[in-house]
Structure 1
């Protein structure tokens, strides 16, 4: 009996080649496709949709070799050849997990899968979009490489998302994206938390040497469950495909990877027995693990000792508690696929690096060698420059802001403010200056009406982000200093610490006052500024002595008065829980200005800047009452 011939060629790549030939033989009309969608690289629309699109990198080198001798190790002016060789020998020992240039698919991470839950949603199959003939070949070549690396496969899923072409600035090259906006609307959001950026930027006060590690094609290291593969399916004129490894752009993808790295760094979870058998013996010995001691009751022990996670959403197939010897590795967290660490000595840095690489090998997580730095006096981490001196805004980001023209739409203004919110801790009067821009309406921006103050504020903020001060690393062994400053519409403050008799900034914060607070006396507004610091940096300054330098007596009165009423009672109760030391300062040049570091502007100068930006509609005419400062002083005299 003769067997029927296969309807498709024997390999996925051959099948793609046949589809490409078919598409090139027939016209666009015969393909019956949706109209093409092209986005321009650098456009405002692309920046708004970036988180909803799975942007695929260029796969130029599918087998990148790793040359440890090219690793970025040490500082030419500070490190010796012996020190660099010691660190490089550690990299050589763990060389199997390092990848060179290129975008090859890394080996799959152990003990983790990506699962997607769409609840009761019915599958949505969108039609493929047309592709211009001169772009067809580029899309085909990218799909071919994805098939060769087994990152994708042909699909029969009921789900289908279309692709989007991003034209690069040269007008010739392209980036291919998958439009997951519809699918992401159905995927249930995981509750796994991302770390706060500010939390990742502290803890470096005693560090002298730094290292940063970037995971190699991180998301592609995560395997997909069968239902996740079906949900990730996408279509184009060449066929219907689905992901075998986790792509960028799908909801929860970054949370899944964050969970992987957290378990690697903190040792929350131990690999299942069948996967732990694949781990190299030297890794098991370093971590103090013995697979032969495990039995089938691991699962039952886990259920008795640890609350079971929601398996439909968790990235992990099993929740087996790690033994005590697998506790915290280097005592730091990562931001998704970026890890930064500092150590006080070179030997300690080498020891920490060795421990970290053993952890990464246990989970089979690959590291990009060209994107990593080892033994540096400063490193770039999540758009900040970290050194032993402190924290700076990344120069590259600052320069990009400097060249921006005033936006033509309200969304453009909001995008600018959003980018600065990431760096507001470097700008001491950010709320006061930015308030002018927050007041703008879409009609006002489009018509270009009454924008002189807004443009002035825009230029001031650009200058400030370019010349951001150095922020010292917070040191909880020393007292903190708060210097409040309030004006007509904002309450700001600097959190600092004293070094060699000079106060240096640690962080800046502040906020715009609400309608009721606009009518407060300036002394009360300074209380609002102090409360803001204690609220925003609670975890940082709690249980530490906090010195407050203020131009008014209100804070001292609040902490001592027995006759306060209204909001003053509430403020007094809140402030009584803190270890505060209030110092009243004078306006003379020999007072506070004499001990301010270069990063802190004298308060009077801040008043001059904001006064020039105040709009008529926010000027508040206060009722004719006796000065609040005088009233508080009188109360202090009576109660004393």
Structure 2
């Protein structure tokens, strides 16, 4: 028996329109959908799930035109018209890679794809979730724009993830997300490393002018392999779709993009021959490349026949070494899609910008012009303000933090502490103050019992986060200074450097003491604080002279004693590898307080703050224990 044929509309958009009309004719009950899930913008649940939801941005204009004249160039009070014109001419020359307002759908990056590996996992097809009638049109319009720009396509995959609707605070507008929690559980985690935030915030000590570049809808520049498309499939009442470009929210997506930008900035591998032939001639000439002279190996020739959109076609799989002239352009790494750079002169900044843009064009990576800054005395980068003076915190949580009430649950307290951990390098004696909050139990918080000290610590931390000090850029040509400080339950320290006879902070660090360390004498706890600095900032201070200002003589004794035992032996061995200069300080006004910069609090004042927070029942179960030899030595040793 011949079955009637059912031809889909000629275009994906037309097909979506038919599905929208069908959904509007059928009742919610007849669609056989899962119950709707709505998240409120700003809610705690949304913040917890954000990394596993592919949150789609508002798509107002997917092909925004770029006006170079509107680029944020120079500083009105410091730069001349000629300087600004020189930099703007560089932007104009490379204008093809810049995008304007809106969330752009950039051209695909060359030499890279996103591939997802789920091992032997069987596909999981989850049922679509219902959508309220008044939200249907908004979801339809979003899907239509994604189809028009070929960011998604209809799918026949055996995989299917549902969507989640995020309601904005006005209760009318929405953001659509894809719930990839189940799929992410099957995807094998990439081991490609993300850079440490602190590593990206150093190296600016000689810079006067700065620039920051934000890639345009960076993730969407990466094409999906055929199997990755199937795994990325999602369902809603309008049908079954899959991603053609890489979405945010899938496991490893940010690592894929990090690898792309790192290779662009540092020049490890070059494009395969067939893709390099697509690069503009002026880019090839600047980088000193000639595709016609490349001698393709048998391996390259064989892999040119590999079907498109598999991992085997990528520059990372072929591992074709880049020539030396493609090496580091600006000598810096990015944090995913954000790049920051500084230069000592305006001409050097222009030269570095030109070299960077040529490399971005080689890999076909687009830049968002409205989100980028060029030739500034200070820039915002990964929630920090960078200038020639140093580093300042610009935390998102600072807005309104003064009115933040004390959390009603232990989870709320932990969330608050987690937010502050990102800026702990700016908060002096953070572990000492926060220790009171770390000691809280869920029952204690819910019952509101014995919270006076915790609330006091909470208020102190709120004040500290909105008035963080300026941290100087570390300069490895100058000696470093460590000022340790310890109390009953924490060991903290300042890493600083001396300028014009005054010590300025470079970083603050510290940690809560463990049960064994709680029994240490305060002099031993200061050794723990010094060890903490040398461990955390090892790469920064290694092979540099480190001056230590301490109120005790234990450090000098450790470096000289031949009769130490127990943990003192281990400490002495570790410290002997460093170039240390220990100074015993006094408590008088002419001592250390006289040379401390405004960003460092005198140690005695820190003692007063912490002593006010000491609980009646602390974790210390025994009086401090210290060897008699150390006590005796402290009374005799005089160190310089």
TM range (shorter): over 0.9
SS at match of 1:492: strand
- Classify 1:450/1:638 alpha carbon distance in 2 versus 1 (closer, same or farther; 3 Å): closer
Q: Structure 1, residues 521-560: CA drift from partner, whole Å, max 9, x if none? A: 1100000000000000000000000000000110000000
Deviation at 1:352, TM superposition (A): 0.1
Note if contact 1:521-1:628 (Cα within 8 Å) is conserved in structure 2: no
| Residue of structure 2 in register with 1:356 after alignment | 356
Deviation at 1:298, TM superposition (A): 7.6
**Match runs of 1:147-166 below 5 Å:** 147-166=147-166
| Residue of structure 2 in register with 1:628 after alignment | 628
Note if contact 1:379-1:387 (Cα within 8 Å) is conserved in structure 2: yes
TM-score normalized by structure 2? 0.96
**Quick one: distance in 1 between partners of 2:502 and 2:358?**
43
Name which of structure 1's ranges 397-406 and 576-585 shifts more when overlaid on structure 2.
397-406
Note if contact 2:224-2:243 (Cα within 8 Å) is conserved in structure 1: yes
SS at match of 1:31: coil
- Classify 1:624/1:212 alpha carbon distance in 2 versus 1 (closer, same or farther; 3 Å): closer
Note if contact 2:553-2:637 (Cα within 8 Å) is conserved in structure 1: no
Q: Structure 1, residues 350-382: CA drift from partner, whole Å, max 9, x if none? A: 000000000000000000000000000000000
- Classify 1:211/1:128 alpha carbon distance in 2 versus 1 (closer, same or farther; 3 Å): same
SS at match of 1:610: helix
- Classify 1:170/1:463 alpha carbon distance in 2 versus 1 (closer, same or farther; 3 Å): same
Deviation at 1:215, TM superposition (A): 0.2
Deviation at 1:398, TM superposition (A): 2.0
Deviation at 1:441, TM superposition (A): 1.4
Note if contact 1:117-1:312 (Cα within 8 Å) is conserved in structure 2: no
Q: Structure 1, residues 223-267: CA drift from partner, whole Å, max 9, x if none? A: 000000000000000000000000010000000000000010000
Note if contact 2:549-2:582 (Cα within 8 Å) is conserved in structure 1: yes
Note if contact 1:493-1:508 (Cα within 8 Å) is conserved in structure 2: yes
Note if contact 2:8-2:15 (Cα within 8 Å) is conserved in structure 1: yes
- Classify 1:443/1:55 alpha carbon distance in 2 versus 1 (closer, same or farther; 3 Å): same
SS at match of 2:163: strand
Note if contact 1:259-1:315 (Cα within 8 Å) is conserved in structure 2: no
**Quick one: distance in 1 between partners of 2:599 and 2:69?**
40
**Quick one: distance in 1 between partners of 2:447 and 2:377?**
49
Deviation at 1:314, TM superposition (A): 8.4
**Quick one: distance in 2 between partners of 1:334 and 1:461?**
30
Q: Structure 1, residues 433-462: CA drift from partner, whole Å, max 9, x if none? A: 111111111222222222111111111101
**Quick one: distance in 1 between partners of 2:304 and 2:280?**
30
**Match runs of 1:262-341 below 5 Å:** 262-297=262-297, 299=299, 316-341=316-341
Deviation at 1:412, TM superposition (A): 1.3
Report the aligned-residue RMSD.
3.1
- Classify 1:578/1:167 alpha carbon distance in 2 versus 1 (closer, same or farther; 3 Å): same
**Quick one: distance in 2 between partners of 1:531 and 1:556?**
14
**Quick one: distance in 2 between partners of 1:492 and 1:374?**
38
Note if contact 2:115-2:310 (Cα within 8 Å) is conserved in structure 1: no
Deviation at 1:408, TM superposition (A): 1.6
Deviation at 1:318, TM superposition (A): 2.3
Structure 2 unmatched ranges of 5 or more: none
Note if contact 1:13-1:147 (Cα within 8 Å) is conserved in structure 2: yes
| Residue of structure 1 in register with 2:92 after alignment | 92
Structure 1 unmatched ranges of 5 or more: none
- Classify 1:626/1:363 alpha carbon distance in 2 versus 1 (closer, same or farther; 3 Å): closer
- Classify 1:618/1:8 alpha carbon distance in 2 versus 1 (closer, same or farther; 3 Å): same
Note if contact 1:256-1:314 (Cα within 8 Å) is conserved in structure 2: no
Name which of structure 1's ranges 2-11 and 483-492 shifts more when overlaid on structure 2.
2-11
- Classify 1:567/1:304 alpha carbon distance in 2 versus 1 (closer, same or farther; 3 Å): farther
**Quick one: distance in 1 between partners of 2:313 and 2:49?**
25
Note if contact 1:210-1:342 (Cα within 8 Å) is conserved in structure 2: yes
**Quick one: distance in 2 between partners of 1:106 and 1:529?**
49
Deviation at 1:428, TM superposition (A): 1.2
**Quick one: distance in 2 between partners of 1:254 and 1:626?**
49
Note if contact 1:190-1:313 (Cα within 8 Å) is conserved in structure 2: no
- Classify 1:557/1:39 alpha carbon distance in 2 versus 1 (closer, same or farther; 3 Å): same
**Quick one: distance in 2 between partners of 1:611 and 1:308?**
66
- Classify 1:551/1:635 alpha carbon distance in 2 versus 1 (closer, same or farther; 3 Å): closer
- Classify 1:277/1:307 alpha carbon distance in 2 versus 1 (closer, same or farther; 3 Å): closer
Instruction: Report how many residues are paired.
Output: 640
Name which of structure 1's ranges 438-447 and 228-237 shifts more when overlaid on structure 2.
438-447
**Quick one: distance in 1 between partners of 2:164 and 2:97?**
33
Deviation at 1:62, TM superposition (A): 2.1
Note if contact 1:488-1:619 (Cα within 8 Å) is conserved in structure 2: no
| Residue of structure 2 in register with 1:588 after alignment | 588
- Classify 1:306/1:517 alpha carbon distance in 2 versus 1 (closer, same or farther; 3 Å): farther
- Classify 1:303/1:58 alpha carbon distance in 2 versus 1 (closer, same or farther; 3 Å): closer
- Classify 1:530/1:624 alpha carbon distance in 2 versus 1 (closer, same or farther; 3 Å): closer
Note if contact 1:277-1:291 (Cα within 8 Å) is conserved in structure 2: yes
- Classify 1:581/1:624 alpha carbon distance in 2 versus 1 (closer, same or farther; 3 Å): closer
- Classify 1:459/1:232 alpha carbon distance in 2 versus 1 (closer, same or farther; 3 Å): same
**Quick one: distance in 2 between partners of 1:465 and 1:370?**
29
**Quick one: distance in 2 between partners of 1:510 and 1:350?**
40
- Classify 1:377/1:626 alpha carbon distance in 2 versus 1 (closer, same or farther; 3 Å): closer
- Classify 1:630/1:236 alpha carbon distance in 2 versus 1 (closer, same or farther; 3 Å): closer
Deviation at 1:312, TM superposition (A): 8.2
Deviation at 1:622, TM superposition (A): 4.6
Q: Structure 1, residues 464-483: CA drift from partner, whole Å, max 9, x if none? A: 00000000000000000000
**Quick one: distance in 1 between partners of 2:478 and 2:496?**
10
Deviation at 1:629, TM superposition (A): 8.0
Note if contact 1:561-1:636 (Cα within 8 Å) is conserved in structure 2: no
Q: Structure 1, residues 533-592: CA drift from partner, whole Å, max 9, x if none? A: 000000000000000000011000000011111111100000000000000000000110
SS at match of 1:210: strand
Note if contact 1:543-1:579 (Cα within 8 Å) is conserved in structure 2: yes
- Classify 1:226/1:626 alpha carbon distance in 2 versus 1 (closer, same or farther; 3 Å): closer
- Classify 1:302/1:572 alpha carbon distance in 2 versus 1 (closer, same or farther; 3 Å): farther
**Quick one: distance in 2 between partners of 1:39 and 1:309?**
35
- Classify 1:308/1:88 alpha carbon distance in 2 versus 1 (closer, same or farther; 3 Å): closer
Deviation at 1:102, TM superposition (A): 1.0
- Classify 1:389/1:625 alpha carbon distance in 2 versus 1 (closer, same or farther; 3 Å): closer
